[in-house]
Copies of this chain bind each other. A is one copy, B any other.
Amino acid sequence: METVTLIISTVEFAKALADETRQKIMALCCCELVSVNDLVDKLDVAQPTVSHHLKILKNAGLVKSERRGKQVFYTLDQESLARGCCQVAEDFAPNQPVKMVISVPE
């Protein structure tokens, strides 16, 4: 699993989120591996458009990808997303703290 954990600015983070199609993609690959074709089937945009959005999400460090044979599977990096959300809150809402809930492994 090639993990590209870029450190991006809050502007880049927000821009990556600021599109309906990308948010649909994020919801679809939030908790599982999905191929590009899976996404194309579930969205009403063409395959190159899906690839375009996946590239933006990947550059923002919000998805990870993994090739399996002819297919490439994507999944959302929930930790990166959560860190981005916390960073935005920390930067702009210092009086209204937002924290990641760390689940301590037993």
Contacts and interface: CB of A to CB of B under 8 A. Distances in A.
A98 B30 CA distance: 15
Given A17-B17, A76-B93, 19 more contacts: A11-B18, A11-B20, A11-B23, A14-B14, A14-B17, A17-B18, A18-B18, A23-B91, A23-B92, A27-B92, A31-B94, A31-B95, A78-B94, A81-B89, A82-B96, A82-B98, A96-B101, A98-B100, A99-B99
Interface of A: 10-11, 14-15, 17-20, 23, 26-27, 30-31, 76, 78-79, 81-82, 85-86, 88-89, 91-101
Given A18-B11, A18-B15, A99-B101, A30 B85 contact: no
- Each complex incorporates copies of this chain amounting to 2
Looking at chain A's contact residues, the main secondary structure is helix
Contacts of A10: 17, 23
A35 to B, nearest CB: 19
A1 to B, nearest CB: 16
A89 B93 contact: no
